[in-house]
Structure 1
Amino acid sequence: MSVPVDPRSKEDGFEHHDAKVKVLLMIGFGLVIALAVSLAAVGLLLSYYHTTPEPPVSGLERDRIIPPEPRLETQALGNGPEVILEAQQRLSRYAWVDREAGVARIPLQRARVLLLERGWPAPVEASGEQAVRLQQAKQRAEPR
């Protein structure tokens, strides 16, 4: 089955019914105009924002507020060896935690030996005016 060909198209060497050039040109010009309008609008907005003054700075924004301890470290890698050294010293030395209650900090190795010798202490109920912490400290201090 053959398709009928327009005699004018056959003479010109191309099909006249495929696309309407006027419509395509109008759409192209419309897109160029829309692009130009949007670029002009962006330019106007940018010039407006560059010329408007910023609002005045409040007193809270001016003052530097330092948060309470503990603060985030600003140089974590720089302070790392100091933190590790301090932790190792705390774990390897004797010191008082609460002298009145009789609670002391002992080296980690010594605490392991005592825990193996004496076992884990049982919880103690508070009796009278003595604090639970004091009773537990006394219980731990008693040899078995």
Structure 2
Amino acid sequence: MAHDTSLTERREPSGLRPWLVVGVGLGTLGLVATVLGAVWLFQRFGGSPAPASFKPTVFAPPQLQSDPAGDLRDYQAAQYARLTGYAWADRELGLVQIPIERAMAMIASRGSGAFDPLDPARIPDPRR
């Protein structure tokens, strides 16, 4: 027959010490009170000046457009002129900007080799 044990003997004993929980709680409360007291003392006796003594900064006024539609037309006209005209990209290197239509026609005229490199490879062939 199985030995009948009482309920208190079968329970797992509590390893928690109540005085330790109370001590941690009181320690936390004391730390919070100390920090709040130090902040109050610093602000009261030796802290920074009051916020009322700061002068507000003046923001720059907004720069509004007097004619937004005209500004947009001018911008689009400048972009159109850049896409349809000739100009120097780098005069010293001899690079020019050409109209976009002319550039597309040049690429289309190359046919299937349109995306082949224009310049020969600069690295010598290692198989020679």
Q: TM-score range by the shorter chain?
A: 0.3 to 0.5
The normalised TM-score by structure 2 is 0.39
| TM-score of the superposed pair, with normalisation by structure 1 | 0.35
More relative contact order, 1 or 2 (CA 8 Å, 6+ apart):
1
